[in-house]
Amino acid sequence: MTDLSHPIFARLYPRLDAASARAGGDALRAELLAGTSGRVLEVGAGYGANFAHYPPEVTEVVAVEPEPRLRAKAEGMAARAPVPVTVRPGLAEELDLDDGSFDVAVASLVLCSVRDPVRVLAELRRVLKPGGELRYYEHIKGSTPGKVRFQRWADAVWPLLAAGCHVSRPTDRWIAASGFTVRAERRFEFPASGLNPASPHVIGVAVRD
Ligand SMILES: C[S@@+](CC[C@H](N)C(=O)[O-])C[C@H]1O[C@@H](n2cnc3c(N)ncnc32)[C@H](O)[C@@H]1O
């Protein structure tokens, strides 16, 4: 079973993300993908918000998305993308893809939502070529005791409202512990102000050891 059904989230997410794009999310997606080239795997691609940002040096994007309504929207975005994008169903925990077959793997706002992020990282490592890059843009566990407490409370309901998304995951630490060497990483608040448990973010590049 590779489909996940989240009809309300699938309807709302593109609208919420459009607002976030205007507030700086688009620039972050461009930063995430700048300098990528060759064959790229994107897991949990959603409605395809990243597709417009792939540079021309990318020869192919394989985009895996398990939610059928989001996948249908992603197919529309793929048709308008500047590089060839193939959208397919699947869970990031069990990729039906060959070992060492990608130059780049992309995880954007997805390791918060998958059931088993450590297993997903192992799968991404498996399908990357040695020296291949993991590009990541994720919201993460906060760095102050107050934020961490707030996130712990939020995580009692957040996953129910946001299709399994958790706000308190230390995804940056899991990446560094999963057979990748972090080459560049930046932590920041997005949005920069306001009461949002998902505001601590990280964007970075890690290389498959
Ligand atoms: C917050 S959305 C982010 C979508 C997209 N990556 C983006 O940057 O806009 C999280 C996505 O992860 C997908 N997802 C959830 N569990 C997954 C899994 N086990 N494997 C792959 N994708 C998953 C959801 O269907 C959804 O599209």
**What share of the chain has pLDDT > 70, as a percent?**
100
* pLDDT on residue 128: 98
38 CA distance to ligand 1 centroid (A)? 23
Q: How many CB atoms lie within 10 A of CB 40?
A: 25
In the chain the domains, ranked by start, together with CATH numbers, are 7-208 (3.40.50.150)
Pick from 8, 33, 113, 165 the residue to mutate for probing ligand 1's pocket: most ligand atoms within 8 Å of its CB.
Answer: 113
**What's the pLDDT tens digit per position in 34-91?**
999 999 999 999 999 999 999 999 999 999 999 999 999 999 999 999 999 999 999 9
Q: Rounded to whole angstroms, how far apart are CA atoms 75 and 85?
A: 8
- The CA-atom distances, in angstroms, between 15 and each of 9, 11, 18, 180 are 10, 8, 5, 34
**What's the pLDDT tens digit per position in 81-132?**
999 999 999 999 999 999 999 999 999 999 999 999 999 999 999 999 999 9
Eight-state DSSP code of residue 162: T
Pick from 41, 53, 110 the residue to mutate for probing ligand 1's pocket: most ligand atoms within 8 Å of its CB.
Answer: 110
Answer yes or no: is the C-beta of 93 below 6 A from any ligand 1 atom. yes
* pLDDT on residue 1: 63
Q: Rounded mean pLDDT of the chain?
A: 97
**What share of the chain has pLDDT > 90, as a percent?**
98
Q: Which residues contact 168 (CB under 8 A, 6 or more apart)?
A: 141, 142, 148, 151, 152, 154, 155, 197
| Closest CA to ligand 1's atom 12 | 44
Mean pLDDT of 164-170: 97
* Residue of 39, 32, 43, 45 lying closest to 78 (CA atoms): 45
110 CA distance to ligand 1 centroid (A)? 5
* pLDDT on residue 2: 82
